[in-house]
């Protein structure tokens, strides 16, 4: 039985400077954002402009502070502006921000990633998750001589034509029809359907690409045996298995989802947390596949800023810090504390809320049953989420402005941050239900 809704509303924060900046920027930058995820079109209202990010705290133009659960959409795993990461990047800028020739930082970074991910024998560094996925798919096509890419409904793999065109939630015009035709969708957590898809395109499938934990439809966990089954089917149909670990890479465990679930992909893509806040993407895997890249092989991929020294320096420092045992203990303890705290209220009041989490990525899903695939995510109550979003925003909690995208805890969040968040979310739940 649900209690009567609390009708008091939070006093709105004074965000006048953000409001006027958002109006002005919209005249010069489409929608006022350089990436549509950042806009508030789903939740309403104007975007908040921040001018400082330190540890777990964001500060906006009007001096309001927020406990941050966006984590910059994933990168801020240690919290913002970690002193030694900042120092490493500063040193790299001073030594030369870009050379256009190999540096020892690239060598060191390659060693650092490979040490954490045994499935990776060789790696290439690029500038974004999108670029990593785009390159990995071209590589799989070049290596196998086949064209079709199988991906899972509701997944997000960046905005290249091959993986955006067919995603049912990101339909964009302007994509090459031919690229869309070569991408086939299948539901997450359904091995029978995957098998049928692969059978149908038996001799034509270059790759299966999967977010091992799907972060863009509500942090959907793979059911027991699912990833192992995907691996087996890829072997059976001689198809390259690409794990898109752009988000999960360092988030769900030190060795990513592949370590957590014990499944070895052929290629892995990375981004976000790997660069210490600097723009990064990377893809790597089996040596025989990576050998297909130019200048050894015939698959082309290049980039003026690929393996950028500043990014490499930030990434090396992040990976060094993540080796400290306490980081993952902290990430897990804080994330568990948050879920226990809000879980209690959800249980007491039987709220139609699903709490879905893997490591330090989580989602508070406004749905009456767990989300295990894209179809389930369609019944999420985005309107109620929008109200909740603004209630917590007005109390100084910053969540992703989306009812389905993953939120993130960082190692800089303190127990007090989490306690305060539980208290404020509890108030917000009482107001929206």
Structure tokens at 116: 């954490």
* 89 versus 432: smaller Cβ distance to ligand PMP: 89
Contacts of 300 (CB under 8 A, 6+ apart): 138, 293, 294
List 133, 194, 318, 408, residue binding ligand PMP (CB under 6 A): 133
426 binds ligand PMP (CB under 6 A): no
Could you tell me if 155 and 120 are in contact, meaning their C-beta atoms sit under 8 angstroms apart? Answer: no
315 binds ligand PMP (CB under 6 A): no
417 binds ligand PMP (CB under 6 A): no
Per-residue binding letters, 100-129, with ligand PMP (x by CB under 6 A): ----------------------------xx
* 42 versus 417: smaller Cβ distance to ligand PMP: 42
Residues in the chain: 433
Quickly list DSSP for 58-98: EEETTS-EEEE-SGGGTT-TT-BT-HHHHHHHHHHHHH-S-
Could you tell me if 70 and 247 are in contact, meaning their C-beta atoms sit under 8 angstroms apart? Answer: no
Q: Measured from the CB of residue 162, what is the shortest distance to ligand PMP in angstroms?
A: 12
Phi-psi domain of 326 (left: phi exceeds 0; alpha: psi -120 through 50; beta: other): alpha
Could you tell me if 312 and 109 are in contact, meaning their C-beta atoms sit under 8 angstroms apart? Answer: yes
Contacts of 145 (CB under 8 A, 6+ apart): none
Q: Measured from the CB of residue 406, what is the shortest distance to ligand PMP in angstroms?
A: 8
251 binds ligand PMP (CB under 6 A): no
How far apart CA 422 and CA 420 sit, in angstroms, is 5
130 binds ligand PMP (CB under 6 A): yes
**Helix 226-236 crosses helix 191-200 at what angle (to 10 degrees)?**
20
* 130 versus 147: smaller Cβ distance to ligand PMP: 130
227-246 residues in contact with ligand PMP (CB under 6 A) are: 244, 246
Q: Measured from the CB of residue 128, what is the shortest distance to ligand PMP in angstroms?
A: 4
List 82, 141, 157, 413, residue binding ligand PMP (CB under 6 A): 157
Per-residue binding letters, 264-283, with ligand PMP (x by CB under 6 A): -------x------------
* 247 versus 428: smaller Cβ distance to ligand PMP: 247
* 15 versus 135: smaller Cβ distance to ligand PMP: 135
Neighbour tally for 369: CB within 10 Å:
10
165 binds ligand PMP (CB under 6 A): no
154 binds ligand PMP (CB under 6 A): no
Structure tokens at 411: 């190692």
Q: Measured from the CB of residue 298, what is the shortest distance to ligand PMP in angstroms?
A: 25
* 79 versus 215: smaller Cβ distance to ligand PMP: 215
218 binds ligand PMP (CB under 6 A): no
Catalytic residues: 156, 244, 272
Please name the residue that has the structure tokens 């060789």.
Answer: 122
Sheet containing 281-285: give its strands across. Answer: 122-126, 281-285, 267-271, 240-244, 205-210, 148-152, 183-186
50-109 residues in contact with ligand PMP (CB under 6 A) are: 73
Structure tokens at 201: 């395109």
DSSP class of residue 148 equals E
For 343, counting Cβ atoms within 10 Å of its Cβ (0-12 exposed, 13-18 middle, 19+ buried), the class is: middle
Please name the residue that has the structure tokens 């360092």.
Answer: 250
* 36 versus 44: smaller Cβ distance to ligand PMP: 36
Q: Where are the alpha helices (DSSP H) in 80-158?
A: 83-95, 104-116, 129-144
301 binds ligand PMP (CB under 6 A): no
211 binds ligand PMP (CB under 6 A): yes
Q: Measured from the CB of residue 191, what is the shortest distance to ligand PMP in angstroms?
A: 21
Nearest residue to ligand PMP, using CB? 129
Provide φ and ψ at 431, rounded to 5°. Answer: -80, -30
List 50, 143, 156, 362, residue binding ligand PMP (CB under 6 A): 156
Residues in contact with ligand PMP by CB under 6 A are: 73, 128-130, 133, 156-158, 211, 215, 244, 246-247, 271
């Amino acid at each position: 039985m649900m209690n009567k809704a609390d009708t008091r509303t939070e006093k709105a924060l004074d965000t006048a400077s953000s409001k006027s900046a958002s109006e002005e920027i919209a005249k010069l930058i489409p929608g006022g954002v350089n990436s549509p995820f950042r806009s508030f079109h789903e939740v309403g209202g104007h975007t908040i402009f921040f001018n400082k990010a330190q540890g777990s705290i964001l500060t906006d133009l009007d001096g309001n502070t927020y406990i941050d659960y966006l984590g910059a959409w994933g990168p801020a795993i240690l919290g913002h502006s970690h002193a030694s990461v900042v120092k490493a990047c500063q040193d790299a800028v001073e030594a030369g921000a870009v050379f256009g020739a190999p540096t020892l930082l690239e060598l060191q970074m390659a060693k650092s990633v490979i040490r954490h991910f045994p499935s990776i024998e060789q790696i290439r560094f690029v500038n974004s998750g999108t670029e990593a996925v785009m390159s990995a798919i071209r590589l799989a096509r070049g290596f196998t001589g086949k064209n079709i890419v199988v991906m899972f409904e509701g997944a997000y793999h960046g905005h290249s034509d091959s993986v955006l065109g067919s995603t049912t939630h990101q339909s964009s015009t302007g994509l090459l029809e031919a690229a869309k035709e070569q991408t086939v969708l299948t539901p997450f957590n359904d091995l029978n359907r995957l098998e049928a898809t692969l059978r149908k395109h038996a001799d034509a499938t270059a790759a299966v690409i999967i977010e091992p934990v799907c972060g863009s439809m509500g942090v959907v966990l793979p059911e027991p045996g699912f990833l192992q089954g995907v691996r087996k089917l890829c072997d059976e149909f001689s198809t390259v298995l690409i794990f898109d670990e752009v988000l999960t890479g360092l988030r769900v465990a030190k060795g990513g989802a592949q370590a957590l679930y014990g499944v070895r992909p052929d290629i892995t893509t990375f981004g976000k947390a790997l660069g210490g806040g600097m723009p990064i993407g990377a893809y790597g895997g089996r040596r025989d596949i990576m050998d297909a890249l130019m200048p050894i092989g015939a698959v082309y991929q290049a980039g003026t800023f690929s393996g950028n020294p500043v990014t490499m320096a930030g990434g090396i420092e992040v990976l060094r810090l993540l080796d400290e045992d306490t980081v993952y203990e902290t990430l897990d303890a804080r994330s568990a504390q948050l879920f226990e705290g809000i879980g209690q209220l959800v249980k007491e009041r039987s709220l139609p809320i699903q709490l879905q989490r893997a490591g330090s990525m989580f989602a508070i899903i406004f749905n009456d049953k767990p989300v295990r695939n894209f179809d389930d995510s369609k019944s999420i109550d985005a309107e109620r989420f929008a109200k909740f979003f603004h209630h917590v925003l007005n109390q100084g909690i910053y969540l992703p402005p989306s009812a389905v995208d993953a939120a993130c805890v960082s190692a800089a969040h303190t127990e007090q941050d989490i306690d305060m968040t539980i208290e404020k979310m509890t108030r917000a739940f009482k107001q929206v239900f």
